[in-house]
């Protein structure tokens, strides 16, 4: 009891008789009688959120986290940061792992949602601290963050507890919640990388999308094995549409399970409708789009704008240069903006300065970009991408094929990031090869953007790629687009170039009749324009068409006229190429002795103008001519020089063709083992290039060299003429 009238500032407490006090008490004054204090044990909270009974496809991630714990069940102190894009299953993984380690944390398992991407903004760490302290029976809790953190560390000391901090926004938000004791494990999940926690010794684990097999297993578990088996094709389409995102596959499975009478094909069809896919992945308010909207909402304005622009690109994988051109900034500025997207896992880094969106994120980014697609700044950004690719491809063309780089270019913009410059033709060709898919996509995109001039000019600028690397399908497709575009732009020079360059592509693709038709149209157009070099180019193509059809006299007549026209225009390189083509015709006509002089002259002229690639082609045919005449040493030397030239210039097609020509010579000289070795090398090179027809032709040649049971080559090395080109047949 307390004195009724104590002196001012004095409080006196007293207990009489037997008394018992529970809890913590601070005593002042006098106590009479026995006192019994009963300490109440602290609660042992178990707050982890529910997770699937079995976490499919995350075995490797769980094992990696297990290995990160101290061995032998000792003090398991540490901070683990699990990162990944929205919907990838970070919380489920963290909760499952900590639940599996429950025996190591007998004093409690705590959970706090830090709401890093919630509409109201991230949670104050003081809020989570108060919840932790109350979970252990501490009330009231300190109001100040520093005092609360200190009390939290004191409480956690000498206790073995686990803490799951979910949806963290920044390292600063997390740091006051770290107990810092030897007996605790903290798992932090975030869409951000939270690299700042590395200072605190955190272990990082980034989650990737699930493998298709794991996604399919989840679908079976949620929908039923029989139903999936009965509609296996539709089930595979559903899995593919969800792109390895566990949330997406679970939402799709919930939709399917809720409609047992509806076929899986209905869901597959809905998920296959582009941007409708995000709307379809919605069950009772839980949506993939909502999660992506939340991640998008934390971006700074410049990064958010770039995100939408990247979503409008016609290709899925893009470069640092692409981002710089879209944002109209330098490489350092673009890198900073991309880092902001990577930080919240809206972007994946695929290699040095190469990036891509997850499939569902790309849909979301495209939808954001589409909202402002008609705005002037957006259209200007898209035009910059077209102009940058056109300018850089043109710069490569000027280095690799300077004589081809003769037509004008029409640019609408001037990006802050300039076109690339190339030290030599090897570097230029490497860029064209590495960017071929994006170049093709931009070329097709030009039609959508109503940039006809840019379309045919880009097809024209890609000429070195077509000539050296021989992507037959792309060669033809690009020039079909280019021809339509040149005619739409009413550019007769562009139309003439598309007809002649495209005719060569059709010829190399085996479309001889259409090739001849294009060259015929080109000849008529060139004559109407009084364009002599255009006439020569068209006649050259017609001569090649005659050659392939076996009309050797007609081919020779065309080529003689080509030489005359080009010499009249003082076009040394062009005349040399026509002379080389005439030498090929002579080889086909079994007139090897006559072929040597025009081929050798062509080689000298090509060397004089510095065209090492075409000089190497001349060397290859000179080797064939010498070999046919029985001059083995000069033939061998020519072939070796040709191979060295093609390898230096990364012309794998002509490397394979030269090996084939060398094999033909060995075969004609009665050396089957040497012939077979050359043919094997040639077939391997064609196979690497994906040139199926050529590889099949070499397989036909090699069939004549089958080994008999005794291990000796077959005695008859004859080759089926139906699959064997004659000496000068290579398509150039």
The model's pLDDT over 203-247, given as tens digits with 9 standing for 90+, comes to 999 999 999 999 999 999 988 999 999 999 999 988 988 888 888
Assess if residue 581 is contained within a domain: no
**535, 536, 537, 540 alpha-carbon torsion, rounded to 10°:** 120
Q: Do 244 and 344 fall within a single domain? A: no
In this prediction, residue 559 has a pLDDT band, given cuts at 50, 70 and 90, of: very high
Q: State the pLDDT confidence band at 723, using cuts at 50, 70 and 90.
A: very low
| Domain CATH code at residue 68 | 3.40.50.300
Q: Give the model's pLDDT for residue 77.
A: 66
Query: Whole-angstrom Cα distance, residue 529 to residue 646?
Result: 37
Q: What is the pLDDT of residue 709?
A: 39
Q: Are residues 30 and 76 located together in one domain of the fold?
A: no
Where b means 16+ CB within 10 Å and e means fewer, 188-223 reads bbbbbbbeebeeeebbbbebebbeeebbbbbbbbbb
Highest mean pLDDT among 214-228, 342-356, 608-622: 608-622
pLDDT at 340: 92
Residues present in the chain in total: 732
Question: Is pLDDT of 390 > 60?
Answer: yes
The whole-angstrom separation of Cα 175 and Cα 291 is 25
What does the pLDDT average to over 645-658? 92
- 360 within some domain: yes
Same domain flag for 151 and 235? no
Do residues 193 and 73 share a domain? yes
Q: Are 68 and 156 in the same domain? A: yes
The answer to whether residues 323 and 358 belong to one domain is yes
Between 234 and 43, residue with greater pLDDT: 234
In sequence order, what are the residues at sequence separation of 6 or more whose Cβ sits closer than 8 angstroms to the Cβ of residue 125? 114, 145, 173, 174, 176, 177
Read off the pTM: 0.73
On the question of pLDDT at 715 being above 50, the answer is no
Q: Are residues 95 and 182 in the same domain?
A: yes
pLDDT per residue over 496-533, tens digit each? 999 999 999 999 898 988 999 999 999 999 999 999 99
Rounded CA gap, 383 and 325, in Å?
10
CA angle 386, 389, 391 (to 5 degrees): 105
Quick one: which H or E segment has residue 553?
helix 552-568
Domain count of the chain?
4
pLDDT at 538 over 90: yes
What integer pLDDT is reported at residue 16 of this predicted model?
52
Q: Look at the alpha carbons of 257, 259, 264, 270 in this order and tell me if their dihedral is positive or negative.
A: negative
Token pair of 235 as six digits: 């089930």
Helix, strand, coil percent content, the chain, rounded in steps of 5: 60, 10, 35
| Whether residue 73 is found in the same domain as residue 176 | yes
Question: Does residue 299 belong to any structural domain of this protein?
Answer: no
pLDDT digits (tens, 9 = 90+) for 652-698: 999 999 999 999 999 999 999 999 999 999 999 999 888 888 899 99
Residue 2 pLDDT > 50, yes or no?
Answer: no
- Scored b (16 or more CB within 10 A) or e, 691-728 reads beebbebbebbbebbeeeeeeeeeeebebeeeebbebb
Domain end point (choices 348, 371, 394): 371
Residue 638 lies in a domain: no
**pLDDT tens-place string over residues 73-125:** 444 568 999 999 888 999 999 999 999 888 888 999 999 999 888 777 788 99
Asked if residue 158 belongs to a domain, the reply is yes
3-state secondary structure of 81: strand
At which of 233, 258, 290 does a domain end?
290
Summary mean pLDDT of the chain: 87
Are the CB atoms for 278 and 247 separated by under 8 Å?
A: no
Rounded to an integer, the average pLDDT of 565-590 is 96
Residue 463: pLDDT band by 50, 70, 90 thresholds?
Answer: very high
Residue scoring higher pLDDT (257 or 563)? 563
Both 98 and 193 in a single domain?
yes
Percentage of the chain surpassing pLDDT 90? 61
> Rounded to the nearest 5 degrees, what angle is found at the Cα of 183, between the Cα atoms of 177 and 188?
40
Say if 383 falls within a structural domain.
no
Residue 54 has pLDDT above 60, yes or no: yes
Q: Among residues 180, 206, 232, which one ends one of the domains?
A: 206
> Does residue 196 sit in the same domain as residue 149?
yes
Domain that holds residue 258: 212-290
CATH number of the CATH domain containing 353: 1.10.10.10
Q: How confident is the model at residue 34 (pLDDT cuts 50, 70, 90)?
A: low
Examine the pLDDT at 732 and tell me if it is beyond 50: no
Measure Cα distances from 179 to 113, 138, 151 in Å.
17, 16, 10
Do 347 and 286 sit in the same domain of this protein? no
Predicted pLDDT at 719: 33
721 lies in a domain?
no
Q: Are 166 and 93 within 8 A, CB to CB?
A: no
Distance CA 500, CA 506 (A): 10
- Taking only the tens place, the pLDDT of each residue in 261-290 is 888 888 888 887 655 677 777 766 667 888
Per-residue pLDDT at 604 exceeds 50: yes
191 and 167, same domain (yes or no): yes
Confidence of residue 593 (pLDDT cuts 50, 70, 90): very high
């Amino acid at each position: 009891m307390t004195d009724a009238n104590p002196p001012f500032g004095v409080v006196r407490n007293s207990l009489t008789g037997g008394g018992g006090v529970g809890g913590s008490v601070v005593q002042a004054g006098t106590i009479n009688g026995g006192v019994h204090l009963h300490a109440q044990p602290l609660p042992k909270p178990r707050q982890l959120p529910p997770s699937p009974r079995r976490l499919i496809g995350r075995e490797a991630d769980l094992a990696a986290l297990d290995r990160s714990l101290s061995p032998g069940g000792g003090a398991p102190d540490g901070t683990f940061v699990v990162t990944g894009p929205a919907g990838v299953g970070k919380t489920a993984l963290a909760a499952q792992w900590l639940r599996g380690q429950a025996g190591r944390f007998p004093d409690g398992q705590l959970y706090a949602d830090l709401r890093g991407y919630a509409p109201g903004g991230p949670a104050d760490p003081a809020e989570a601290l108060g919840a932790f302290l109350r979970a252990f029976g501490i009330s009231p809790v300190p109001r100040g963050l520093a005092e609360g953190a200190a009390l939290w560390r004191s409480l956690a000391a000498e206790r073995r507890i686990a803490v799951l901090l979910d949806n963290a926004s920044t390292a600063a938000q997390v740091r006051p919640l770290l107990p810092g004791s030897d007996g605790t494990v903290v798992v932090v999940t975030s869409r951000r990388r939270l690299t700042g926690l590395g200072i605190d010794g955190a272990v990082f684990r980034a989650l990737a999308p699930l493998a298709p097999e794991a996604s399919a297993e989840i679908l079976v578990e949620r929908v039923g094995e029989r139903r999936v088996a009965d509609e296996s094709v539709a089930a595979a389409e559903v899995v593919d549409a969800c792109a390895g995102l566990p949330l997406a596959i679970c939402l799709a499975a919930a939709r399917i399970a809720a409609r047992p009478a509806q076929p899986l094909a209905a869901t597959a069809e809905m998920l296959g409708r582009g941007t409708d896919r995000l709307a379809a992945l919605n069950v009772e308010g839980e949506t993939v789009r909502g999660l992506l909207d939340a991640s998008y909402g934390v971006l700074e304005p410049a990064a958010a704008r770039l995100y939408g622009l990247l979503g409008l690109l016609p290709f899925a994988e893009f470069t640092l240069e692409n981002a710089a051109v879209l944002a109209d900034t330098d490489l350092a500025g673009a890198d900073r903006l991309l880092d902001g997207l990577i930080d919240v896992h809206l972007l994946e880094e695929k290699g040095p300065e190469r990036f891509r969106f997850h499939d569902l994120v790309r849909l979301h980014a495209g939808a954001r970009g589409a909202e402002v697609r008609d705005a002037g700044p957006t259209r200007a950004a898209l035009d910059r991408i077209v102009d940058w690719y056109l300018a850089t491809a043109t710069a490569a063309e000027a280095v690799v094929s300077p004589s081809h780089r003769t037509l004008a270019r029409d640019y609408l913009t001037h990006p802050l990031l300039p076109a690339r410059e190339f030290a030599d033709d090897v570097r230029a060709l490497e860029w064209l090869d590495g960017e071929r898919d994006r170049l093709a996509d931009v070329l097709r995109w030009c039609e959508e953007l109503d940039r006809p001039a840019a379309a045919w000019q880009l097809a024209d600028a890609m000429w070195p790629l077509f000539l050296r690397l021989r992507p037959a399908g792309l060669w033809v497709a690009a020039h079909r687009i280019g021809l339509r575009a040149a005619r739409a732009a009413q550019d007769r020079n562009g139309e003439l170039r598309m007809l002649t360059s495209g005719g060569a592509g059709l010829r190399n693709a085996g479309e001889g009749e259409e090739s001849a038709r294009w060259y015929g149209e080109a000849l008529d157009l060139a004559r109407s324009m009084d364009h002599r070099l255009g006439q020569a180019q068209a006649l050259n193509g017609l001569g090649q068409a005659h050659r392939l059809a076996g009309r050797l006299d007609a081919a020779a007549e065309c080529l003689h006229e080509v030489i005359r026209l080009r010499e009249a225009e003082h076009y040394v390189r062009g005349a040399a190429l026509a002379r080389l083509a005439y030498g090929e015709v002579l080889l086909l006509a079994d007139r090897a002795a006559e072929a040597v002089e025009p081929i050798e002259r062509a080689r000298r002229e090509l060397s004089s103008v510095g065209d090492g690639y075409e000089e190497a082609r001349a060397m290859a045919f000179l080797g064939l001519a010498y070999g046919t005449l029985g001059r083995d040493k000069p033939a061998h030397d020519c072939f070796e020089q040709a191979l060295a030239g093609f390898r230096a210039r990364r012309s794998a097609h002509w490397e394979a063709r030269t090996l084939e020509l060398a094999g033909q010579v060995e075969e004609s000289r009665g050396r089957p083992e040497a012939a077979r070795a050359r043919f094997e090398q040639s077939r391997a090179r064609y196979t690497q290039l994906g040139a199926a027809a050529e590889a099949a032709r070499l397989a036909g040649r090699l069939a004549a060299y089958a080994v008999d049971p005794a291990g000796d080559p077959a005695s008859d090395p004859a080759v089926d003429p139906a699959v064997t080109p004659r000496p000068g047949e290579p398509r150039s």
